[in-house]
Structure 1
């Protein structure tokens, strides 16, 4: 019995020491940075948790497109929408002066683009016009809020769409989440507690194809690592302030296990490159922890 107790004490001591090393590494990455950095990590199979500033309500920016896509797919599952339904694109919903690969593909509009294609552009390429098209189909941000509330997602708020955020810098702070909330909703999603299996599998594949933010979470991970993710970024205002440089992800390890990570850099006066490097370096430190 004593040997068993000593064994578990030894294992606990090793785990604690490794956690301390991770914490020290992350603290060294964020040290002296003029920014609020929120971090949440959860090992799905081993229950490992790491949190730093995880209770701060920080602007999501395009990370909220994950929540919007989930609400759309809930409507699809309920028969209120269909991924095959056709949506007309024109000047009324293909706004200029906003990030929109969808507009670049259809510069003259199109009478029959499927909701599925719009959703994929919105999540995997972070299309702002696609985002607002989906919100209009849902009847507004309140539908997304109600969907998240009904699934027990706390410390999450969505009030404004992309067009409104582009008109007023301060509006982004009304679309907030804590990193703890972002991590928790990823776990619910992975466990099939947010959407049906069919819709979960579909959205997971879309997130795995994300092409934005290649200099953030995935930058230093081994090539071809499966990472289902959603990025977000505000850019800088006239005062040189970054409201948000964010990313959330579900990462598959070489041993087949998984962890979720949510990284939000907010109210930063650092350069865009520095903000993204922080996310990249923290992601690599967490990867190294899980692969020891």
Structure 2
């Protein structure tokens, strides 16, 4: 009986210590954010340790291109079902390659009217955040409504996908109709990493693609040791005439030196800060989190 009592006591004390430590980390982040002119939401979960903390993690934040991760999951789900194939050729017409939008696909194939493997379009869309690639994939699976329904069926309820990239760029307010809570974004990352969504081959493909992401080098990866493996997806809005940036985001999974991981979602919304400061907010919060997990 004494051994059982001691074990229970140890578990309670250990749990108390973890909660106390995460409370300190949360306080550090809140103090850091106190001087920033932006709404910032943070959600973190240690994948193996199960340690978690959050700051403003249940509000609605504009996703911007972060939703290309959500889209990639839906596309690869159709690959796993045999509806699509990674090596199948997708016809990309010239009128699919809209001007005045970020599109490395358009730069590579300016004349259009080409057949591009689905795998290549996915890589452009996720790793390079191609807006035209995003809308091509959305049309392929049936549009934003299909994506939204897919996410809700997964159990990710606090997210809404209502428009594509083309529509998001038509006016300022439309971008806010594609939103997520930071907690929901982290929950989706966890489901992805725990192989609850995709087959092993589809997981491997998307994991490599997210690790190869070239956008947002000053965000989650900004203050981490060089060579740290980060599988992530960024999102970025424009800045309006009042100097407000609607969204500077990054979500991802960070590999620690002991080969454990943490999932992190950081959304910086309605910011009056400049671009460097918005990205520094994400980098600083990630660095504090890294320091916590490697202590």
Band the TM-score falls in, shorter-chain normalisation: over 0.9
Deviation at 1:89, TM superposition (A): 2.9
- 1:213-250 C-alpha deviation (Å, 9 max, x unpaired): 00100011111111110000102112211111101001
SS at the partner of 1:136? Answer: helix
SS at the partner of 2:69? Answer: helix
Q: Note the aligned Cα RMSD (angstroms).
A: 1.5
Q: Select the residue among 93, 116, 119 that pairs with 1:116.
A: 119
Change (3 A) 1:21 1:76: same
- Pair 1:203-2:225 in alignment: no
Deviation at 1:105, TM superposition (A): 1.5
Number of the residue aligned with 2:68 = 65
- Pair 1:232-2:235 in alignment: yes
Q: Select the residue among 217, 221, 235 that pairs with 2:220.
A: 217
Number of the residue aligned with 2:31 = 28
The whole-number CA distance in structure 1 between the counterparts of 2:221 and 2:113 is: 34
Counterpart contact for 2:26–2:54, Cα < 8 Å: no
Number of the residue aligned with 1:74 = 77
- With 228-237 and 101-110 compared, the bigger mean Cα shift is at 101-110
Q: Select the residue among 33, 37, 41 that pairs with 2:40.
A: 37
- Pair 1:127-2:130 in alignment: yes
The gaps in structure 1 that reach 5 residues or longer are: none
- 1:147-181 C-alpha deviation (Å, 9 max, x unpaired): 11111111010000000011011111110000000
Q: TM (normalized to structure 1)?
A: 0.95
Q: How does 1:47-196 map to 2 (within 5 A)?
A: 47-196=50-199
Change (3 A) 1:149 1:13: closer
Counterpart contact for 2:42–2:264, Cα < 8 Å: yes
Deviation at 1:278, TM superposition (A): 0.4
Q: TM (normalized to structure 2)?
A: 0.95
The whole-number CA distance in structure 2 between the counterparts of 1:7 and 1:79 is: 50
